[in-house]
Amino acid sequence: MMEHQEYQELMALHALDALEASDARAVDAHLEACARCRAELIELKDAAGLLAYGATPAEPRTELRAQILRSIRAAADEDRRGSRISAQVVPLSDWRQSRAWTTGLRIAASIAIVALLIGIVVLWRRALRLQREVADLSGQVDTQQLDLARNRDILAREREALALLTSPEAKRMELTGTTAAQNARATLVFDKQTGRAMLLTEGLPAAPPDKAYEVWFIPKGHSPMAGKVFTVDASGRAMVSDQMPPEARDNSVIAITLEPKRGSAAPTGAIYLSSPSS
Amino acid sequence: MQPDLSQIPDNALLHAIARGDQSALAACYDRYRVILFSIILRILNDRQEAEDCLQEVFLQVWRRARDFDEARGRAFTWLVTIARSRSLDRLRASGSRLRLATEAAQAPREDTGDAAEESVRSEEGALVRKALAELPEEQRRALLLAYFEGLTQTEIAARLGDPLGTVKTRMRSGMIKLRELLHGKVRR
């Protein structure tokens, strides 16, 4: 905020209309509150008016006087007609009032439009936020459903394993790691009657992305018969349920090899686990 | 009986015009045509355009005389302000400011010709012209640039190639001297 003194210094320039617009506005605002400055400005404007004498005196053409007085007469006649007409039609005050009304309505309409636009923007942003939240939630639901399915799967296999283990017909085979996976071991439990089998591994190295382990049933005197293709978790564990071919239920060797991801018809890769040959 | 309007004070003349007295306007024209035309011609620098503008000014005086309030300044100031604003508006509209670039910053000429015969204002005019002539050249130039070209302080500083602070100080000093003139010799 400027002090009174500073405004006073601007006043002479204001009287000459020589202030920049922003300064002029500040001075005008001060003038509304300061009677002393108002009085000062009046004097300074009178002083500025004297500068008119700085122009070289010049006479207009003599004919101009009559011309100007004619135009004044015409303007006076027009004003009289104009005021008669306006008296007949709408009283001036009513007209002003109605104009104030239209102005009021226009302002109200502008405000309404602005409010509407703000409302639309707010709703639009809220909708976007909700959309994002819905997407997040349905993503979470998908993940949970996936988890649930996985858990159900695990549970089913565990039940199966439990059923197999507790079955009186259950037979059990131990597989040991070869040189390719010395820490690996696995257990195969199977029902000799039904051929239902469950393989539990641990300590198998993670398969490369384009590879997977494959189970082979090798009955004595037969070529290997392909079982399930599987991968292991981080600790090398897997629980694989399979159906054992009847030929393999007696006296066969079980082996696990590393194969292309989709599995092979006959073993091609290195043997990782194997049951002792009987 | 028609009163002798040539003798009535400026304020009364404007009040008479405000009441729709066309002869008061004629008297106002006789009294003010020279000073108003001088301002307009100085600003517009074109006689034809200046005469058109003078006609506009008197039409405005006729229509707006009721706005004149002597509590807010001299009648002289009210009239010259209309002439100045109208001409500056025209100047800005026509963009003919360049024509003035050399003329406007010049000192007022001493020769006053036939127009100086104008009786009522000649005394005051002579006093002010003398005072203006006594102002330091750079003060006078800055004030006249503001008045006749409608330049702001910044534009004046740029035109004269002087620092803004210096220009402000000069203009203030010049204005103070003009105001002293009002307090002393010039009729309020």
β-strands A211-219, A271-274: how paired? unpaired
Burial of A68 (0-12, 13-18, 19+ CB in 10 A): buried
Residue B94: the pLDDT is 79
Burial of A167 (0-12, 13-18, 19+ CB in 10 A): middle
**Cβ-defined contact of B182 to A12 (cutoff 8 Å):** no
| Nearest by CB: A72 against B62, B114, B116 | B62
Residue B110: the pLDDT is 39
Q: For chain A, say whether B14 makes contact (Cβ under 8 Å).
A: no
Q: Tell how far CA A252 is from the center of its chain.
A: 59
Rounded distance between C-alpha atoms, residue B36 and residue B51, angstroms: 10
Based on DSSP, count helices (H) and strands (E) in chain A, helices before strands: 5, 8
Rounded distance between C-alpha atoms, residue B100 and residue B45, angstroms: 7
Q: Which range among A160-164, B35-39, B132-136, B142-146 shows the weakest confidence by mean pLDDT?
A: A160-164
Residue B141: the pLDDT is 94
Residue B61 has pLDDT above 90, yes or no: yes
Beta bridge partners of A215: A256
Residue B135 has pLDDT above 70, yes or no: yes
Q: For chain B, say whether A17 makes contact (Cβ under 8 Å).
A: yes
Q: For chain A, say whether B101 makes contact (Cβ under 8 Å).
A: no
Quote the radius of gyration of chain B (alpha carbons, Å).
Answer: 17
Q: For chain B, say whether A82 makes contact (Cβ under 8 Å).
A: no
Measured between beta carbons, the chain A residues lying within 8 angstroms of B175 are 12, 15-16, 44, 47-48
When pLDDT is cut at 50, 70 and 90, the band that residue B3 belongs to is low
When pLDDT is cut at 50, 70 and 90, the band that residue B102 belongs to is very low
Lookup: tokens for A72: 């004044």
Measured between beta carbons, the chain B residues lying within 8 angstroms of A54 are 42, 108, 129, 132, 140, 143-144, 147-148
Rounded distance between C-alpha atoms, residue B97 and residue A1, angstroms: 36
Measured between beta carbons, the chain A residues lying within 8 angstroms of B58 are 68, 72
Measured between beta carbons, the chain B residues lying within 8 angstroms of A40 are none
A176 — phi, psi (to 5°)? Answer: -120, 155
Mean pLDDT score, B12-18:
94
**Cβ-defined contact of A46 to B128 (cutoff 8 Å):** no
Residue A99: the pLDDT is 65
| Nearest by CB: A69 against B26, B129, B176 | B26
Residue B184 has pLDDT above 80, yes or no: no
Cβ atoms of residues B105 and B162 within 8 Å: no
Size of interface A-B (CB pairs under 8 A): 167
Residue B170: the pLDDT is 94
Nearest to A251 by CA among A171, A147, A166: A171
Mutate to test the interface with A, among B11, B38, B91, B118 (most CBs of A within 10 A): B38
User: Which domains does chain A show, CATH number per domain?
Assistant: 1-48+90-166 (no CATH), 170-274 (2.60.40)
Measured between beta carbons, the chain B residues lying within 8 angstroms of A72 are 22, 25, 58-59, 62
Residue B122: the pLDDT is 73
Rounded distance between C-alpha atoms, residue A239 and residue A151, angstroms: 13
Nearest to B103 by CA among A245, A73, A56: A56
Rounded distance between C-alpha atoms, residue A215 and residue B9, angstroms: 124
| Nearest by CB: A12 against B34, B125, B172 | B172
Residue B117: the pLDDT is 43
Residue B109: the pLDDT is 43
Cβ atoms of residues A273 and A201 within 8 Å: yes
Residues within 8 A of B (CB atoms), A 213-272 only? none
Residues within 8 A of A (CB atoms), B 126-165 only? 128-129, 132, 140, 143-144, 146-148, 150-154, 156
**Cβ-defined contact of A60 to B50 (cutoff 8 Å):** yes
Residue A84: the pLDDT is 66
State pTM to two decimals. 0.55
- Residue numbers of chain A with a pLDDT score lower than 70: 1-2, 83-99, 278
Residue B155: the pLDDT is 94
Residue B108: the pLDDT is 45
**Closest chain A residue to B109, measured at CA:** A56
Residue B187: the pLDDT is 55
